[in-house]
């Protein structure tokens, strides 16, 4: 086999890297080794198949085996990498009990992440039949297979995936509970005041228990039939009947192979990469959920947990591995969005409680349309400003077109735009589309006033 670019993992990061390696060098062999049986598919789409927003799990496949074939990318599915032989620059993998050796010029590690299961009594070893994660199509199919018989589902973790899943359950089931150990929903994404506003709305549809830990699951005949919760504030215990438990408490990077060959691993547990996505070992790149990088604002290490970042890393690694030259920005903005129960939420940067800079923030609720035009919807915006420099360092929005509005704030953050300039940004105005001052700029006006009074 001719040496070429070998990519371990065909998720969003690995698939994108293959695509851009091929674009950069039309001749070099490009190989992807994927342990699962699906080619590149959208993990983020899983809750929407469960909700029937997407018709079937097969629809989640973004690039099919045929697509990779046409692009002359050799995709090996159900292929487990056993060893990376750095000295001889080759990967030893196994498919159908057959060992195959893949020599590489460049290697890209895109092994992703695994669900992180919190310490819960009786969940230490294996998962009971009605306890699920939601990381793979298999997980999704497992949930769907029993969903018709469920009427007391509990979701652990009130992040985006937990809330998206809660909505999909709510479409079929009256009594859906979501349990969060921290004091507010979306604790990694929003400031508490923003979370509380959303939580209030969601409480119309869901039972939300914040400040609650699942301490124990009670198993009967291989199924969990109840759980014990503890209120982290009052320390009170509570028992609750459950017929489906989904753990959505985040992920941990899958770095076994990277660790074996001695790639530097960061404090967060992810592989450390530079701005070309190179690991500490020559010719070996790492991308996606198995890596860590810098947060744009704080400069702190952060785990890459977003598909949008994974694909951007995929481009950089793919281009560089194929002899091109492309760089990551100095840090990631972590722009993200989700929608549940008709509330669109979006954020850029990290929430206030994760930033050590001295911050000024402003929050404002306006309308998506001028007052005189019927049909406007509320838009709530929060903007974070560095007190010393006066620059925009983050934003959070919920309501109409939250995602698009956060993109504009993301552009401001990326440009380290001063709040006075952001306040003055000429946003597009037309009666049926947007008011003369978009709610984001009015929030900027309030933030600027607060900053000047500092």
Q: Minimum CB separation from its own copies for residue 433, in Å?
A: 5
**Distance separating alpha carbons of residues 133 and 249, to the nearest angstrom:** 9
Beta-bridge partners for 397? 346, 381
Burial environment of residue 393 by CB neighbours within 10 A (0 to 12, 13 to 18, 19 or more): buried
Catalytic pick from 10, 44, 290, 411?
A: 44
Min separation Cβ 416 and its own copies, Å: 9
Nearer residue to its own copies within complex by CB, 16 or 199: 16
Report the residue number, 222 or 374, with the smaller CB distance to its own copies: 374
CA 377 → CA 131, 194, 342, 399, 445, distances in Å?
A: 38, 17, 11, 7, 20
Which residues in this chain contact its own copies in the complex, by CB under 8 A?
Answer: 12, 42, 44-45, 48, 53-55, 59-62, 160, 306-309, 311-312, 328-329, 332-339, 344, 346, 348, 370-374, 401, 403-408, 410-412, 414-415, 417, 421-422, 424-434, 436-438, 440
What is the rounded distance in angstroms from the CA atom of residue 48 to the CA atom of residue 38? Answer: 18
Closest distance to its own copies from the beta carbon of 112 (Å): 15
Instruction: Identify which of residues 231 and 427 has a Cβ nearer to its own copies in the complex.
Output: 427
We find the least distance from the C-beta atom of residue 4 to its own copies, in angstroms, to be 24
Alpha-carbon span 270 to 326, nearest angstrom: 21
| Known active-site residue 44 | yes
Estimate the crossing angle of helix 12-24 against helix 307-321, to 10 degrees: 30
CB of residue 422 to its own copies, shortest distance in Å: 8
CA dist., res. 295 & res. 376, Å (int): 35
Residue closer to its own copies, measured from CB, 53 or 262: 53
The distance from CA 385 to its chain's CA centroid, rounded to whole angstroms, is 24
Nearer to its own copies, 101 or 433 (CB): 433
Q: Residue 205 or residue 223: which is nearer to its own copies going by CB?
A: 205
Torsion, Cα of 267, 9, 166, 147 (10° steps)? -140
Q: Which CB sits closer to its own copies, 278 or 304?
A: 304
Nearest distance, CB of residue 357 and its own copies, angstroms: 20
Q: How far apart are CA 35 and CA 222, in angstroms?
A: 28
- Which tokens belong to 131? 């306890």
Look at the chain and count its residues.
Answer: 454
Cα-to-chain-centroid distance, residue 220? 34
Measured distance CA(289)–CA(11) in Å, rounded: 10
Dihedral in degrees, nearest 10, Cα atoms 255, 258, 260, 263 = -120
Beta carbon of residue 15, minimum distance to its own copies (angstroms, whole number): 11
Phi, psi of 108 (to 5 degrees): -120, 120
Residue 191 near residue 362, CB atoms below 8 Å: no
C-alpha dihedral sign at 359, 363, 368, 370: negative
Give the residue numbers marked as catalytic: 44
């Amino acid at each position: 086999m001719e040496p070429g670019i070998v990519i371990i993992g065909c998720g969003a990061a690995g698939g994108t890297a293959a695509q851009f390696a091929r674009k950069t060098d039309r001749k070099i062999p490009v190989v992807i080794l994927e342990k699962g049986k699906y080619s590149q598919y959208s993990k983020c789409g899983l809750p929407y198949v469960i909700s029937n927003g997407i018709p079937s799990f097969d629809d989640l496949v973004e690039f099919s085996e045929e697509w990779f074939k046409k692009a002359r990318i050799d995709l090996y599915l159900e292929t487990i990498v056993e060893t990376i032989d750095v000295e001889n620059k080759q990967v030893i993998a196994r498919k159908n009990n057959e060992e195959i050796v893949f020599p590489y010029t460049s290697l890209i590690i895109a092994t992703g992440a695994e669900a992180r299961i919190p310490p819960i009594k009786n969940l230490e070893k294996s998962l009971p039949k009605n306890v699920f994660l939601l990381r793979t199509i298999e997980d999704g199919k497992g949930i769907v297979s029993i969903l018709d018989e469920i009427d007391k589902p509990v979701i652990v973790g009130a992040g985006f995936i937990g809330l998206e899943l809660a909505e999909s359950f709510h479409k079929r089931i009256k009594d859906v509970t979501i349990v969060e150990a921290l004091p507010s929903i979306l604790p990694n994404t929003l400031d508490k005041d923003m979370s509380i506003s959303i939580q209030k709305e969601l409480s119309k549809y869901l039972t939300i228990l914040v400040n609650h830990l699942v301490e124990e699951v009670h198993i009967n005949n291989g199924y969990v039939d109840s759980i014990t919760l503890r209120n982290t504030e009052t320390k009170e215990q509570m028992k609750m009947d459950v017929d489906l438990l989904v753990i959505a408490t985040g992920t941990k990077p899958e770095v076994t192979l990277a660790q074996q060959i001695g790639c530097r691993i960061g404090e967060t547990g992810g592989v450390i990469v530079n701005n070309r996505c190179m690991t500490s070992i020559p010719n070996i790149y790492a991308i996606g959920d198995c890596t860590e990088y810098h947060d744009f604002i704080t400069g702190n290490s952060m785990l890459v947990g977003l598909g949008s970042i994974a694909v951007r890393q995929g481009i950089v690694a793919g281009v560089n591995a194929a002899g091109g030259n492309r760089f990551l920005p100095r840090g990631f903005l972590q722009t993200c969005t989700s929608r549940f129960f008709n509330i669109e939420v979006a954020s850029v940067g990290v929430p206030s409680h994760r930033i050590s800079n001295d911050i000024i923030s402003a929050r404002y609720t306006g309308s998506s349309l001028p007052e005189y035009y019927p049909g406007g919807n509320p838009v709530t915006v929060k903007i974070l400003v560095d007190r010393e420099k006066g620059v925009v360092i983050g934003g959070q929005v919920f309501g109409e077109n939250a995602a698009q509005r956060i993109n504009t704030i993301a552009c401001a953050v990326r440009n380290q735009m001063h709040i006075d300039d952001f306040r003055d940004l000429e946003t597009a105005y037309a009666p049926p589309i947007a008011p003369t001052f978009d709610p984001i700029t009015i929030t900027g006006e309030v933030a600027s006033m607060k900053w000047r009074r500092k």
